[in-house]
Structure 1
Amino acid sequence: MRKTALIITLALLGSATVWAETDARHKTGKPAAQKPAAATKQAVHKAAPAPSSASAKSAAEAPMGQEELSIAQRVHQGHLPCELGAAVRIEPDQIQPGYFNVQGKGFRYRMHPVATSTGAIRLEDKQAGAVWLQLANKSMLMDQKKGQRLADECAHPEQVAFAEQMKNNPPPPLIEVNTGR
């Protein structure tokens, strides 16, 4: 959409330049001074400056509360291999405690912890609609806007060990089924 707007703007600026040149030629009989194309593009970019990402981040990011900081301490960090050869890298933000940079092939999110009633560790990037769920035996990254998983079966070495332990010593069933009457 931005490309289309830029193309339309450049086309309109080009038309305006042609009209100005034609008008100048009619008034003076001489061709109008030519501006290089780069100057025209710069003018377009200066007309609508983007807000500084640093100021946008600081306005949206409040300092973490004690509960969120406690959750952040339990987030597995580093390179986590996932199913189908995918991988996710989770790194803590060095400036803003409690925030994490979560990235992989085709995505990059800035996430923060959110308390849950289940005990699962949850990181969110509300603006992008991304959620990282960390369970005892695996983690996954979901895009809530698209309703799909971006990465699944991601595992830190601690999670791999826990999953192995679950295989060797399965937990008791949550619901007992009595087969004898």
Structure 2
Amino acid sequence: MKKYLFTLVIAAMAFAISNAQAHTGSSAPKKIVKKAAHHKAAPTANTGDEKEPDISKSLATDFHCELGNNVTIYKNAGDDKSIALRWHKKLHALERVGTTTGAIRFENRTLGLVWIGIPAKSMLLDSNKGQQLANECKTAEQMVAKPAAVPAIGLMATKS
């Protein structure tokens, strides 16, 4: 038994030494190539002369969001391509962007505002800064609590 153990230890050491020697061989030095820096286009500064959308004939929908934020969406009955969005007492025009997920998405690329609506909630994002401005935005109808699902009688079996 000792003979086999000794042979096994010697074989393992020989394998480790040969493996270590294979990795210590120096290869040709690698050339470091610096790539030209790709600069992002600077976002256009909001000069404040953005034309305010006309909301005189629009239907308003109020959204109440987390952290006490409020957003109001103004939509014309015949126009599903654009909306007006009131955020922090300022009115912004947003254009609809197609999605593959079924979510409703409107953007103002100049300001970086993105409004996304799904059946459960909506959210307002700032794509320039990469952050959420308002989340869990819901209308009064969406805030109404749905009754809890009642389990079927067969699922409420108790042990006696």
Question: TM (normalized to structure 2)?
Answer: 0.50
Rg larger for: 2
Which has the higher relative contact order, 1 or 2, with Cα contacts under 8 A spaced 6 or more apart?
2
Would you tell me which structure has more strand in proportion to its own residues?
Answer: 2
Question: TM (normalized to structure 1)?
Answer: 0.44
